[in-house]
Amino acid sequence: MRTEVAIVGAGPAGLLLSHLLHLRGVGSVVLERHDRTHVENRIRAGVMEHDVAALLDAVGVGARMRREGLVHEGINIRFRERTRRIDFRDLVGRTVMVYGQQEVVRDLIAARLEAGGTILFGAEATAIEGIDGERPRVRFRENGEEHLLTCDFVVGCDGFHGVSRAAVPADRITLFERVYPFAWLGILAEAPPASEELVYAHHERGFALLSMRSPRLSRLYIQCRPDETLEAWPDERVWEELEIRLGGAELGLRRGPVVQKGITAMRSFVAEPMRFGRLFLAGDAAHIVPPTGAKGMNLAVADVRLLDRALGAWYGEGDPRLLEAYSEIRLRHIWRVQHFSWWMTAMLHRFEDASPFDRRRQLAELDHVTSSRAAGRMLAENYTGLPFLEEGEPAWEDPS
């Protein structure tokens, strides 16, 4: 089997890259180890930056998002039993879009299949070979049979545990990681959201977040220990804790049937570089951020947007410069977003080893961010999305 670009993973990054390349006339094959039903129903992120939503519109896959998505002009931050709003439109003239990642995936799958694109569901990539040559290969298993996909380039969009990053020799890659001493317990509930915009709550018992997926579905989170089990959190306990941390009586928190519940570990992670010969890493294969800043899917989209432009230059003009600069351009942006996501996480969560001084400092920081226009603008600028970096800008450099 032969194609121009082999894409491992049918998440938003892999599917969007395949769609963008199709618009350029560049062929691709997407390999996905799960079936289509699983891919279209796995619940992930739900907040899109201003430019990410605009990009989906521009490439023809944003119609349903514009009909069903929720445009948010700010967020609320709650601490010391009071709620303050960060007004994005006023501060930076931008908004975010709340639209579930699984909905983006459904839209992209529909677009690729309608255009005759090749997505192989149930096709598990088992090895990537020849990344330093001109004809890399991806071995994959489908319906119990072994297959070989030959290509010009491989793009690994297969997540933290995928085969793509594992294909890189250990002496050619450096991993940076921070694991946080807490997790998020999240529920999806059939209940109208109690707020029109997200509510981030800092509480002495721990962090909580009120989010949503639609006017009828609430997405809610509470900070918990990373070693806790779902059995320790029956629905009644979850709702009681949410009411305490979010100020349920004041907010008017509405209960409803819990249709999904899970615990998510928290980590920051970056792999450097992100290019190894003809293999490129994108999305969670290359970087993970804690979800506090709502950046995971947005970073993945920025990765493949640049890859699309770089591959377009290579196939269109034979120009390899943007492909060669992919890693350094992306890492500059990624480390900025890593800082923002770490900062939001550190400011809002309760750390068990924090001293009384640390806790007072957190409250002072929250007070500053929500009362200073300059500090609020910094949060709004990052939350709504830093501009996509272009190839002409200086690359990020390691200060060490």
- Active-site annotation holder among 50, 203, 287, 295: 295
Catalytic: 295? yes
Pairing between β-strand 258-272 and β-strand 145-150 as defined by DSSP bridges: unpaired
Residues 6+ apart with CB under 8 A from 392: none
- Catalytic residue (choose from 136, 193, 290, 291): 291
pLDDT reading at 398 higher than 50: no
Residue 193 a catalytic site member: no
CB 278 within 8 A of CB 134: yes
Radius of gyration from C-alpha coordinates of the chain? 21
Distance CA 36, CA 109 (A): 9
At 389 the pLDDT is 59
pLDDT tier for residue 388 given thresholds of 50, 70 and 90 = confident
Task: Reply yes or no on whether 203 is catalytic.
Answer: no
Average pLDDT taken over every residue of the chain = 94
Comparing 84 with 388, which gets the higher pLDDT?
84
The one catalytic residue in 99, 180, 315, 383 is 383
Q: What is the pLDDT of residue 397?
A: 40
Judge contact between 178 and 29, C-beta under 8 A. Answer: no
Residue 302, classed as helix, strand or coil, is helix
Of the residues 19, 50, 72, 202, only one is catalytic, namely 72
Q: Are 195 and 251 in contact (CB under 8 A)?
A: yes
3-class SS at 137? strand
Question: DSSP letters along 331-351, please?
Answer: HHHHHHHHHHHHHHHHHHSPP
Q: Is 44 helix (H, G, I), strand (E, B) or coil?
A: coil
Name the residue ranges covered by the structural domains of the chain: 5-73+94-177+267-350
200 in catalytic set: yes
Annotation marks residue 234 as catalytic: no
For the record, the structure tokens of 165 come out as 């990053």
pLDDT classification of 71: cutoffs 50, 70, 90: very high
Give me the catalytic one of 200, 221, 315, 326: 200
Count CB neighbours of 352 within 10 A: 8
pLDDT for 333: 95
What is the band of 390 on the pLDDT scale with cuts at 50, 70, 90?
low
Judge if pTM exceeds 0.85: yes
Domain covering 5-73+94-177+267-350 assigned CATH 3.40.50.150 in the classification:
no
